[in-house]
C-alpha cells in the first residue's frame, strides 16, 4: 500500500509549482496517474490512502479514491446515500474538506467524479432535511472551480438547494456571475487543433467544461429555464425586483415552437407580480416575445391580469376582492406570499403618485385622497414617515405645531429628484458597462468558434466545391471578415 | 473550517474580539453549518444553539440586514424558536423593527429579560438603532415636535414635554436647533461623503470607449 501511496503522491500541485513543469508534461503525468488509479481493484485499502493524501495537493488521486470508497460503500449497503456520507459523519467531513480545498487545475481531469461528489453532498444534506449544509459547500466548490460563465447542472442543483433551505443571499455570489454559455460541444473538429492542455492556466472554464468533461449532466431546455426561474425566485425573496424581472424576462422570452411550456407560464405570472411590486405597474413586455405567445400567457393567467388592472387603476376595492377571490389560485401557483405584498406596495405607489401632482400636502389630505385601508391620519403619518425615512419616498416631513398632529408632507423639489435619478442612472450605466466589458471579452472568441464550427466548415466546403465546378472565383467572405483567420485544409478533412 | 469548535466560550470570544459588526456577522455565518449539526433534544446543545442563533440574529441587525435576519429565523430549528425565551424575544424585536414600531423596539430591547451573555450585544444594538434612527430623522424631518423626536429615539417624551434641559441638550448636541417661538426642533441633515466623481467619470469613459470600439 505504501508503494501505491508513493506513486499517487508523485503528482502534486505543489511540486508542479516548484519544478515549473511544462503544461504538456504535467498533462501527461496527470493522464498517466488516472490510468494508474483506474486499474486498481475495488478491494484496495482506500481508507489508508485517503488518510495519507492531501486533498489540495493530490486532488486527482484523492477525488478518484474517495469516489471509489463511496462506490464500494454504496454497493455494500445497497443504498445511494450510505450513513457514512450523511452530515456529521467521517466521510461527509472528508468530502466537505475536499470540496473546500481541491486544486482547481487537477480537478479538470476528473469532472465526472467531481460532479458525482457534489451531487452526493446535496443528496445527503437533503436526506437529513438539512439542505443548508450543502449550500455553503457547493457554493465554495463552484467558486473554486470557476466555470467562467458556463452553465452546468450543478448550478441548477445549487440554486434549488438554496431555495429549499431559504439561504437566498448565500446564492448571490454564484447568481451574480454572468451566465452565458453552455458546456462546449466536444464534437467540434477544430477543437483538437486549438486546445491547450487542460492544466494550462490559460485554459478557461469555457474550454475545460465540455459536454464530455462530466462537470455537467446533459442540459435540457427545462434546465435552462429552471436556472433562470430559480434565480428570479431568489431575487424576489430578497426583494430585488429589477434583477428578478431581468431573469424572468429571459424565461418568458425563450424561443418556442408551437406552445409555451408550463415553466414559462409560471414565470409570466411571477413577472406580472414582480412588475407590480417593483414598479407599481406592468412593465412593457420584451419586444422579442411574439404577439401570439403573449396572448397565450395572458389567456393562461387571467386572474393575474385582473389583479394588475385593479392595481394600475388604483381601484382598492377591486384589488382586495380579486386577492380574496383568487386565494386558491395564488396558493396553487405558490404566489401567495407575493400577492400578500401587493397591499403595502399599493399604498406605497399611491403616495408616490401624489408627488407627481402636488408639491406639498398635509397627512390628513394624504389620508383623504388615497382611500386606502390606512384608517386614521395618525396611521397615515406613520406609514408616510416610514416611506420617507427608508428613502422610498423623496420627501420631507414638517410638524406644523408643537401640539396636535398636523404634519405637512413636502415632496422633494424636481431638481433634487432629477439629481437623484441621474446618480442612479450613472450607477446603472457603470454596472451595465462592467457586464458589457465581461461579455465583450467573449464575443470575439464565440465569433471565431462559430466560424470554425463543423456546420460552417461544411457549408464552406460545399461552397468551395460549387465555385470550383462552376469555374467562378468565389472569395472566402468568412476568412476576410475574420481579419486574417486561417482555415487549414486538414481541419476541413476532419470535419467530414 | 479552521475555526475553533462552537461553544459558549468561543461565542463570547468571537463577540469580544470582532472589530466591526461586519466581521462579527461574517465569523458567525461560518458557524451556521456547525450549528445545523447540533441537536435541540440535548439540553446543553439546545442552550448553546439558543445563544448562537440569538447572537447571530443580532449580528444581522447590527449590519442592517433586516430581510436576512428574518430568513435566518426560518432556517433555525423551529421547535427551538417556538420554545426558547431569547429567540422569542428576537422574533418580537424583528417584528417591531420590520414594522418600524420605534417605541416597541426600545421596550423590547430595554424591558424584556435577556440572558447575561446576550446583554452586551443587545445594548450595542440599542445604540446602533438609536444612531441609525437619528440619521434618518435628520434627513426626513424639517421640523419635528420634541416629544415625537424623543419617541423615535427612545428617550422619555414626558420629560421633553416638560422641557427637560438634559434631553433637549442631547438634541442640540446633534446639531439640531430649537425654535422657542414655534416650540419645534429643526434637525440638521447628516450629509454623507459624496461619491468620487472622478472615478465615476473615468468608469463612464471606459464604458463609452468600449461601446464605441464594438463593430455592429
Contact: B142, A401; criterion CB under 8 Å = no
- Measured CA to CA in angstroms, residue A196 lies from A181, A449, B27 at distances of 19, 15, 40
Residue A494: its pLDDT value, please? 42
Put simply, the answer to whether B200 touches A426 (Cβ < 8 Å) is: yes
Q: Measured between CB atoms, does A238 come within 8 Å of chain B? A: yes
Q: Which of helix, strand or coil describes residue A229?
A: helix
| Contact across the interface for A433 and B206, Cβ inside 8 Å | yes
As a whole number of angstroms, the longest Cα–Cα distance in chain B is 73
Measured between CB atoms, does A337 come within 8 Å of chain B? no
> pTM for this one?
0.85
CA distance A490 to A494: 6
Task: Tell me which chain A residues have a C-beta less than 8 angstroms from the C-beta of B200.
Answer: 426, 430
Q: Which residues of B touch A97 (CB under 8 A)?
A: 1
DSSP A150: B
Whether ipTM tops 0.90, in short, is no
State whether A130 and B183 contact (CB < 8 Å). Answer: no
| pLDDT for the residue numbered A366 | 87
Phi, psi of B179 (to 5 degrees): -100, 110
Integer angstrom CA distances of residue B58 from A183, B38, B90: 43, 20, 8
- Judge whether B37 is closer than 8 Å to chain A, CB to CB: yes
Contact flag A423-B71 (C-beta cutoff 8 Å): no
Of the candidates B71, B133, B204, the beta carbon closest to that of A166 is on: B71
The answer to whether residue B202 neighbours chain A at the CB level (below 8 Å) is: no
Contact at CB, A132 and B144, closer than 8 angstroms:
no
> A129 and chain B: CB distance < 8 Å anywhere?
no
State the DSSP string of A50-67. Answer: HHHS-TTTSHHHHHHHHH
Residue A355 and residue A378: Cα distance in Å, rounded? 20
CA of residue A205 relative to chain centroid, distance: 16
Q: What does the alpha-carbon distance between residue A327 and residue A331 come to, in Å, rounded to a whole number?
A: 6
CB contact under 8 A, B36 and A133: yes
Closest Cβ opposite residue B210 in set A132, A168, A436: A436
Of A73, A10, A76, A75, give the one whose Cα is nearest residue A37: A10
Contact between A61 and A11 (Cβ < 8 Å): yes
Distance CA A127, CA B107 (A): 42
Cβ within 8 Å of B, A 432-491: 432-433, 436-437, 440, 443
Q: Give the distance from residue A447's alpha carbon to the nearest chain B alpha carbon, in angstroms.
A: 13
Which pLDDT does position A493 carry in this prediction? 40
A128: closest chain B residue by CA: B37
Say whether residue B12 is in contact with chain A using an 8 A CB cutoff.
no
Query: Between chains, do B145 and A403 touch, taking CB under 8 Å as contact?
Result: yes
Domain boundaries, chain B: 8-128, 132-211
Element (H, E) at B141: strand B141-143
Residues of chain B with pLDDT under 70: 1, 191-216
Which DSSP letter does residue B118 get? G
- Beta bridge mates, A396: A410
Of B65, B75, B206, the CB nearest to A166: B75
**Distances in whole angstroms, Cα of residue A271 to Cα of each of A253, A297, A301, B17:** 12, 11, 11, 45
Distance (Å) from the alpha carbon of B148 to chain A's nearest alpha carbon: 10
**In what order do the strands lie in the sheet containing B141-143?**
A360-362, A407-411, A395-399, B141-143
**Residue A398, beta-bridge partner list:** A408, B143
* Euclidean distance between CA atoms A164 and A234, whole angstroms: 10
Half-sphere exposure of A29 (CA within 13 A, CB side): 20
B213 to chain A, minimum CA–CA distance in Å? 10
Q: Do B144 and A397 touch (CB under 8 A)?
A: yes
Q: Is any Cβ of chain A less than 8 angstroms from the Cβ of B188? A: no
Q: Write out pLDDT tens, residues B37-65.
A: 999 999 999 999 999 999 999 999 999 99
Q: Is the Cβ of B216 closer than 8 Å to some Cβ of chain A?
A: no
Residue A462's pLDDT is what?
80
B145 touches chain A (CB under 8 A): yes
Cα A311 to Cα A233, A394, B78: the distances in Å are 22, 22, 36
For an interface test with A, which of B1, B140, B168, B209 has the most A Cβ atoms less than 10 Å from its Cβ?
B140
Q: Are A100 and B1 in contact (CB < 8 Å)?
A: yes
User: Looking at residue B196, what is its pLDDT?
Assistant: 58
A169 touches chain B (CB under 8 A): yes
Work out whether strand A360-362 and strand A395-399 pair parallel, antiparallel, or are unpaired: unpaired
Q: Check A87 against B141: CB less than 8 A apart.
A: no
Q: State the DSSP H helix or E strand holding residue A459, giving kind and residue range, or none if neither.
A: helix A454-470
Predicted local confidence at residue A375, as pLDDT: 60
Instruction: Kindly report the average pLDDT of chain B as a whole number.
Output: 89
* Chain A residues within 8 A of B182 when measuring between CB atoms: 401-402
Report pLDDT digits (tens) over B9-41. Answer: 999 999 999 999 999 999 999 999 999 999 999
Cβ neighbors of B193 (< 8 A, separation 6 or more) are none
DSSP 8-state assignment for residue A106: G
Chain A residues inside the 8 Å CB shell of B140? 385, 388-389, 396-397
Environment class of A346 (CB within 10 Å of its CB; exposed 0-12, middle 13-18, buried 19+): buried
Residues of B whose CB is below 8 A from A400 = 143
Predicted confidence at residue A433, as pLDDT, reads 80
Backbone angles phi, psi at A341, to 5 degrees: -75, -10
Q: Across the strands, what pairs with A184?
A: A210
Virtual CA dihedral for A419, A423, A429, A434, nearest 10 degrees?
A: 170
Interchain pair B184, A402: CB under 8 A: yes
Pick the CATH number of B132-211 from 1.10.3470, 1.20.1070, 1.20.58, 1.10.10: 1.10.10
Under 8 Å CB pairs connecting chains A and B tally to: 99
Nearest to B68 by CA among B22, B123, B12: B22
Q: What is the pLDDT along chain A (496 residues), one digit of tens a residue?
A: 777 877 778 767 666 666 667 778 888 888 888 888 888 766 677 888 899 899 998 999 999 999 999 999 999 999 999 999 999 999 999 999 999 999 998 999 999 999 999 999 999 999 999 999 999 999 999 999 988 788 999 999 999 999 999 999 999 999 998 888 888 776 666 666 666 777 777 666 667 788 888 899 999 999 999 999 999 999 999 999 999 999 999 999 998 887 899 999 999 999 999 999 999 999 999 899 999 999 999 999 999 999 999 999 999 999 999 999 999 999 999 999 999 999 999 999 999 999 888 989 988 888 887 755 556 667 888 899 999 999 899 899 999 877 777 889 999 765 566 667 777 788 778 878 877 777 777 776 677 677 777 777 778 788 777 665 554 444 444 334 333 333 333 434 443 3
Indicate yes or no: CB of A238 within 8 angstroms of CB of B67. Answer: yes
Amino acid at each position: 500500500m505504501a508503494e501505491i501511496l508513493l506513486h499517487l503522491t508523485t503528482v502534486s500541485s505543489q511540486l508542479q509549482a516548484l519544478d515549473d513543469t511544462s503544461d504538456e508534461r504535467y498533462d501527461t503525468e496527470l493522464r498517466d496517474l488516472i490510468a494508474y488509479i483506474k486499474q486498481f481493484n475495488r478491494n484496495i485499502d482506500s481508507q489508508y490512502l485517503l488518510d495519507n493524501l492531501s486533498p489540495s495537493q493530490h486532488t486527482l488521486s484523492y477525488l478518484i479514491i474517495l469516489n471509489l470508497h463511496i462506490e464500494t460503500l454504496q454497493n455494500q449497503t445497497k443504498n445511494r446515500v450510505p450513513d457514512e456520507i450523511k452530515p456529521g459523519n467521517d466521510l461527509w467531513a472528508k468530502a466537505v474538506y475536499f470540496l473546500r480545498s481541491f486544486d482547481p487545475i487537477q480537478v479538470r481531469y476528473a469532472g465526472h467524479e467531481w460532479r458525482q461528489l457534489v451531487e452526493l453532498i446535496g443528496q445527503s444534506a437533503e436526506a437529513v432535511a438539512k439542505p443548508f449544509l450543502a449550500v455553503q459547500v457547493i457554493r465554495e466548490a463552484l467558486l473554486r472551480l470557476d466555470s467562467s460563465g458556463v452553465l452546468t447542472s450543478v448550478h441548477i442543483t445549487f440554486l434549488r438547494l438554496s431555495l429549499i433551505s431559504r439561504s437566498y443571499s448565500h446564492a448571490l455570489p454564484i447568481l451574480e456571475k454572468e451566465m452565458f454559455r453552455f458546456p462546449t460541444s466536444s464534437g467540434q473538429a477544430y477543437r483538437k487543433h486549438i486546445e491547450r492542455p487542460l492544466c494550462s492556466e490559460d485554459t478557461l472554464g469555457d474550454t475545460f467544461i465540455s459536454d464530455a468533461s462530466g462537470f455537467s449532466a446533459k442540459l435540457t431546455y427545462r434546465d435552462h429555464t429552471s436556472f433562470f426561474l430559480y434565480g428570479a425566485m431568489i431575487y424576489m425573496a430578497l426583494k430585488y425586483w429589477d434583477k428578478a424581472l431581468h431573469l424572468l424576462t429571459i424565461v418568458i422570452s425563450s424561443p418556442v415552437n408551437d406552445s409555451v411550456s408550463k415553466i414559462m407560464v409560471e414565470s409570466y405570472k411571477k413577472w406580472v407580480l414582480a412588475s407590480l411590486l417593483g414598479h407599481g405597474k406592468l412593465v412593457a413586455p420584451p419586444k422579442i416575445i411574439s404577439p401570439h405567445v403573449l396572448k397565450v400567457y395572458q389567456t393562461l393567467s387571467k386572474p393575474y391580469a385582473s389583479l394588475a388592472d385593479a392595481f394600475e387603476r388604483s381601484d382598492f376595492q377591486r384589488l382586495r376582492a380579486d386577492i380574496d377571490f383568487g386565494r386558491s389560485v395564488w396558493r396553487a401557483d405558490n404566489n401567495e406570499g407575493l400577492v400578500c405584498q401587493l397591499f403595502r406596495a399599493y399604498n406605497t405607489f399611491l403616495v408616490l403618485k401624489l408627488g407627481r401632482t402636488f408639491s406639498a400636502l398635509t397627512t390628513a389630505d394624504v389620508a383623504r385622497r388615497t382611500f386606502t385601508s390606512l384608517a386614521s391620519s395618525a396611521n397615515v403619518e406613520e406609514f408616510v414617515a416610514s416611506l420617507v425615512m427608508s428613502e422610498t419616498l423623496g420627501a420631507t416631513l414638517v410638524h406644523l405645531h408643537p401640539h396636535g398632529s398636523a404634519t405637512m408632507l413636502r415632496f422633494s423639489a424636481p431638481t433634487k429628484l432629477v439629481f437623484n435619478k441621474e446618480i442612479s442612472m450613472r450607477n446603472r450605466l457603470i454596472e451595465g458597462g462592467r457586464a458589457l466589458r465581461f461579455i465583450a471579452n467573449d464575443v470575439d472568441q464565440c465569433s471565431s468558434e462559430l466560424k470554425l464550427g463543423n456546420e460552417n466548415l461544411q457549408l464552406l466546403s460545399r461552397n468551395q466545391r460549387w465555385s470550383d465546378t462552376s469555374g467562378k472565383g468565389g472569395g472566402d467572405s468568412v476568412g476576410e471578415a475574420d481579419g486574417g483567420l486561417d482555415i487549414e485544409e486538414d481541419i476541413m478533412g476532419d470535419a467530414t | 473550517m479552521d475555526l475553533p469548535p462552537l461553544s459558549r466560550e468561543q461565542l463570547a470570544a468571537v463577540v469580544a474580539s470582532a472589530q466591526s459588526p461586519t466581521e462579527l456577522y461574517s465569523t458567525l455565518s461560518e458557524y451556521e453549518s456547525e450549528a445545523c449539526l447540533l441537536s435541540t433534544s440535548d439540553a446543553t446543545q439546545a442552550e448553546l444553539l439558543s445563544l448562537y442563533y440569538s447572537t447571530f440574529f443580532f449580528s444581522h441587525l447590527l449590519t442592517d440586514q433586516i430581510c436576512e435576519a428574518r430568513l435566518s429565523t426560518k432556517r433555525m430549528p423551529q421547535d427551538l424558536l417556538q420554545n426558547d425565551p431569547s429567540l422569542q424575544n428576537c422574533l418580537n424585536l424583528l417584528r417591531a423593527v420590520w414594522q418600524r414600531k420605534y417605541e416597541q423596539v426600545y421596550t423590547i430591547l430595554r424591558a424584556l429579560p435577556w440572558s447575561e451573555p446576550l446583554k452586551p450585544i443587545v445594548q450595542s444594538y440599542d445604540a446602533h438603532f438609536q444612531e441609525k434612527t437619528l440619521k434618518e430623522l435628520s434627513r426626513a424631518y424639517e421640523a419635528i415636535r420634541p416629544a415625537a423626536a424623543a419617541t423615535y429615539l427612545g428617550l422619555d417624551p414626558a420629560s421633553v414635554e416638560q422641557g427637560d434641559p438634559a434631553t433637549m441638550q442631547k438634541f442640540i448636541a446633534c446639531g439640531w436647533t430649537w425654535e422657542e417661538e414655534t416650540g419645534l426642533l429643526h434637525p440638521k441633515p447628516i450629509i454623507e461623503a459624496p461619491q468620487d466623481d472622478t472615478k465615476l467619470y473615468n468608469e463612464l469613459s471606459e464604458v463609452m470607449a468600449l461601446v464605441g470600439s464594438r463593430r455592429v
